């Protein structure tokens, strides 16, 4: 439920790449007027603004290294304490691992907060592979289409600039399956972690986008 006063809506979105969790996160953010926060956005903002944390993160990124969990968590918690997060927030793409989840938990605990909902958008791998395999990108302007969900007027030709459409390497079945394997390896423990905390909510992501959103609103209770 959306609660009053101190109790705010703090949400983590879980779901495989291509499950549609980013789309749902944006819709939730819009409906409840809370920020949709991704680690990529946080990194970019801190680096652009030259913050202390941003400088630290940049030293790792410039060397092609992964930013350590502790630093990622510091950046996220710093973001969560900004004014626009006072009524809640949606974290998308963080935490990805158990150490990140534990660091986040400990940091939130220090400021007297905790996650209210971890929403897992469940879609079987084969659905995701076929969804992604239907994506097409324009070689000219970069516009994206889908053979089933967002087709072009003329087959294989971009509506905007008339250039040819391609299937990106990222969307090829073997690449998608590899990403899904990594996701399951990393994220299954997270699903168990939030389940034990009693905040995990699962949603059937194979439904129509609006039906998935309706199911999420039902969970959030408002």
Contact residues for 108 (Cβ-Cβ < 8 A; gap 6+): 10, 77, 80, 114, 115
Q: Which residue has the tokens 């408002």?
A: 222
pLDDT more than 90, % of the chain: 68
Mean pLDDT for all residues in the chain:
90
Q: How far is residue 196's CA from residue 216's CA, in Å, rounded to a whole number? A: 20
Higher pLDDT, 6 or 219: 219
- The predicted-structure confidence for 123-139, as pLDDT tens digits, reads as follows 999 999 998 999 999 99
DSSP, collapsed to helix, strand or coil, labels residue 146 as strand
**Whole-number pLDDT of residue 5:** 38
Kindly report, residue by residue over 137-152, the tens digit of the pLDDT.
Answer: 999 999 999 998 899 9
pLDDT recorded at residue 24: 94
**Cβ–Cβ < 8 Å for 209, 197:** no
- The whole-number pLDDT of residue 111 equals 85
Residues in a beta bridge with 136: 145
Q: Counting beta carbons within 10 angstroms of the beta carbon of residue 112, is it exposed (0 to 12), middle (13 to 18) or buried (19 or more)?
A: exposed
Q: Which domains are delineated in the chain?
A: 9-124+176-220 (3.40.50.300)
pLDDT for 59-80, tens place per residue? 988 888 888 888 999 999 999 9
**Rg (alpha carbons) of the chain, rounded to whole number:** 19
Active site residues: 21, 96, 135, 168, 179
- pLDDT at residue 161 is higher than 50: yes
Please give the residue that has the higher pLDDT: either 38 or 152: 152
* Distance (Å, whole) CA 171 – CA 149: 15
Q: What is the pLDDT of residue 222?
A: 66
For residues 96 and 78, what is the distance between their CA atoms, to the nearest angstrom?
A: 18
d(CA 124, CA 204): 10
pLDDT over 70 percentage in the chain: 96
pLDDT of residue 201: 97
Q: 120: which 2 tokens?
A: 């897992």
């Amino acid at each position: 439920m959306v609660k009053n006063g101190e109790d705010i809506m703090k949400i983590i979105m879980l779901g495989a790449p291509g499950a549609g969790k980013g789309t749902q996160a944006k819709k939730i953010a819009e409906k409840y007027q809370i920020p949709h926060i991704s680690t990529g956005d946080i990194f970019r903002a801190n680096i652009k603004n030259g913050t202390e944390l941003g400088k630290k993160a940049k030293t790792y990124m410039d060397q092609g290294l992964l930013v350590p969990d502790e630093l990622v968590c510091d950046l996220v918690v710093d973001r969560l304490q900004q004014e626009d997060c006072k009524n809640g927030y949606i974290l998308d793409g963080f935490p990805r691992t158990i150490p990140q989840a534990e660091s986040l938990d400990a940091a939130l605990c220090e400021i007297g907060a905790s996650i209210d909902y971890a929403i897992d958008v469940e879609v079987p791998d084969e659905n995701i592979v076929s969804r992604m395999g239907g994506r097409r990108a324009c070689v000219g302007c970069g516009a994206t289409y889908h053979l089933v969900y967002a087709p072009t007027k003329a087959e294989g030709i971009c509506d905007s600039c008339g250039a040819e459409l391609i299937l990106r390497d990222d969307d090829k079945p073997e690449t998608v399956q590899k990403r899904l394997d990594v996701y399951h390896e990393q994220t299954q423990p997270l699903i168990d972690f939030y389940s034990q905390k009693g905040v995990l909510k699962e949603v059937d992501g194979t439904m129509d986008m609006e039906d998935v959103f309706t199911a999420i609103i039902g969970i959030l209770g408002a």
